[in-house]
Amino acid sequence: MDNNTRKLLNLTDDSLIFNENWLSREARDNRSVNMITGRLVNNDRQCKQCGFYQSVKNGTYQTISQLPEVERRPTYLKLQRERYLCRNCGSTFSASTSLVDDYCQISKQLKYQIAFDLKENRSRKEIAQFHSVSENTVQRVLFSFTNNHQPNFNFLPTALCLDEFSSTSDCHTGMSFICADVTSKKIIDILPDRRLHKLVSYFMKYSRKARLQVRFLVMDMNASYGQLLKTVFPNAKIVTDRFHIIQHINRSFNALRIKEMNQLKRHNQEEGKQYRRLKRYWKILLKDNSELNYKHFYYRPLFKRNMSSTELVDELLSYSSLLKKAYHFIQELKYAYKTNDYVLFLELCSKISVELPKYFRDKFKIFGKFSQGVINAFKYSYSNGFLEGINNKIKVIKRVAYGYRNFLLFKRRIFLIQNQVFQVK
Ligand SMILES: [Zn+2]
């Protein structure tokens, strides 16, 4: 085998020796495969037990390891490995190569390729078929690449964000817990159970110094991790996630819009039109009204004429006085949000007009209830928006893998996807 071929096949290890007829085609599991045959010899022959150099040959044995496919054909490396006997201590050892881990049936290169595919949203079965390996092998690769994740119990970041996601079926509570470093956007850990007493006992494993390091806990308003403050993170302040504040405002407004919309009689010609328009142009109502365009006129099919964005909004709001009131209310809130005016924001929430329906008003009580978190959200620009991104990826993996049943495997895959597996501590 010449050097270029070696490079091409990633078989550059000097301990490998190939003669002229190194390639043959063989049948294996009803498929035609490439079989590369060679010898493995150790040049230095140093004893692994005692370090003595003068060992003698002591027979050979054969191993077959799987390499990455070549031209969509499974490829194997058949090696005649030399065995040595140490003259000094009497132990035997055999020639090894960096290409294949000892006692492993697949080459490192193939492992890397499988690990790479595991980072994508592909199911284990699909990956196994693609590389002509078993699903168990894919699982073993997942294990071998991720087995080192142990949180460092002596370190926690200044800003820690906490969230939860619906989990695998072997978790009792159905909801799992994820925490990450807001600044570096790295996952710190994923726990199967989000219940408070589990979290307390988990975080108590961290050193006191590490826990005192945490100054900000970023979380959304559904979370009840506030109680972690007293016992676990005495120096921390709660910061409500900014992303979640806006999301809550938008969702509340949308709920009101849909209720108003559903009161229109769809069979009536005029109200039917209004219904369809409110249904179609919901996004424009959520936009900041300072950002609406009043200069450019676009054709609006549901109106059969050209309209600017501001005109469109005015028209939509004219269909319902409640919608109009709610619209102006959320626009004021968004203005307060944008200008970081938490006094105005909380005042608007507490003085919400009684003309608005109760279910709508109630949704804004939550900001008063979490006022300290909201104030901090305005003061400090921490957000766990990136965690939302991770959570979306988690959902996708779960869907592709048809529901991971095993939490630990699931956790490992998440770490792999987030590129957090080669961390050396
Ligand atoms: Zn020895």
CATH number at residue 174: 3.30.420.10
Residue 423 lies in a domain: no
Q: What is the dihedral of CA 367, 368, 370, 372, to 10 degrees?
A: 110
Q: How far does the centroid of ligand 1 lie from the alpha carbon of residue 43, in Å?
A: 16
Q: What angle (nearest 5°) sits at the alpha carbon of residue 23, between those of residues 110 and 128?
A: 25
Q: Across residues 103-119, what is the average pLDDT? A: 87
What's the gap in Å between 58 CA and the centre of ligand 1? 14
User: Is residue 357 in some structural domain?
Assistant: yes
Is residue 231 domain-shared with residue 342, that is, in the same domain? no
CB 62 within 8 A of CB 37: no
The pLDDT confidence band at residue 102, using thresholds 50, 70 and 90, is confident
Q: What is the dihedral of CA 301, 307, 311, 313, to 10 degrees?
A: 30
- Report the separation in Å between the CA atom of 15 and the middle of ligand 1, taken as the mean of its atom positions: 21
DSSP for 202-262 reads: HHTTS-HHHHHH--EEEE-TT--GGGHHHHT-TT-EEEE-HHHHHHHHHHHHHHHHHHHHH
- The closest alpha carbon to 418, from 389, 382, 385, 384, belongs to 389
The band of 215, judged by pLDDT with boundaries at 50, 70 and 90, is: very high
Instruction: Identify whether residues 262 and 187 lie together within a single domain.
Output: no
Residue 127 lies in a domain: no
Q: Give yes or no: residues 249 and 360 share one domain.
A: yes
pLDDT at 227 over 90: no
Do 250 and 303 lie in a common domain? Answer: yes
54: CA distance to ligand 1 center in Å? Answer: 9
Check if the beta carbon of residue 172 is closer than 8 Å to that of residue 401.
Answer: no
Q: How far is the CA of 44 from the centre of ligand 1 (A)?
A: 13
Q: How many whole angstroms from 92 Cα to the centroid of ligand 1?
A: 8
pLDDT per position as a tens digit, 41-98 = 887 788 888 888 878 888 999 999 999 999 889 999 999 998 989 888 888 888 888 8
In whole angstroms, give the CA distance from residue 82 to residue 41.
6
Half-sphere exposure of 283 (CA within 13 A, CB side): 1
CB 204 within 8 A of CB 223: no
37 Cα: distance to centroid of ligand 1 (angstroms): 30
CA distances from 313 to 120, 171, 298 (A): 42, 47, 13
- Ligand 1 center to 79 CA (angstroms): 24
- What's the CA-to-centroid distance between 84 and ligand 1, angstroms? 10
Task: List the shell of residues around ion ligand 1, using CB closer than 5 Å.
Answer: 47, 49-50, 52, 86, 88-89
Ligand 1 midpoint to CA 53 (Å): 8
Q: Does 228 share its domain with 173?
A: yes
Q: How confident is the model at residue 242 (pLDDT cuts 50, 70, 90)?
A: confident
Residue type, 230: K
Among 105, 125, 144, the domain-final residue is 105
Does a structural domain hold residue 123? no
CA of 55 to the centre of ligand 1 (A): 8
Ligand 1 centroid to residue 57 C-alpha, Å:
13
Distance 90 CA to ligand 1 centre (A): 6
Same domain for 194 and 271, yes or no, is no
CA of 115 to the centre of ligand 1 (A): 37
β-bridge mates for residue 17, sequence order: 39
Residue 247 shares a structural domain with residue 374: yes
Question: Do 280 and 391 have their domain in common?
Answer: no
Is the pLDDT reported for residue 421 higher than 70? no
State the distance from the centre of ligand 1 to the C-alpha of 56, rounded, in angstroms.
11
* Domain count of the fold of the chain: 3
360 and 400 co-located in one domain = no
Strands 216-219 and 237-240 turn out to be parallel
Give the domain extent around 397.
159-241+383-417
Work out the mean pLDDT of the chain and round it to a whole number: 86
Tell me, in angstroms, the distance from the centre of ligand 1 to residue 41's CA. Answer: 17
Question: How crowded is residue 310: how many other Cβ atoms within 10 Å of its Cβ?
Answer: 14
pLDDT category at 424 given cuts 50, 70, 90 is very low
CA 323 / ligand 1 centre spacing (Å) = 86
pLDDT of residue 145: 79
Q: Residue 161: name the closest of 200, 203, 216 by CA.
A: 216
Q: Point out the domain boundary residue: 40, 75, 105.
A: 105
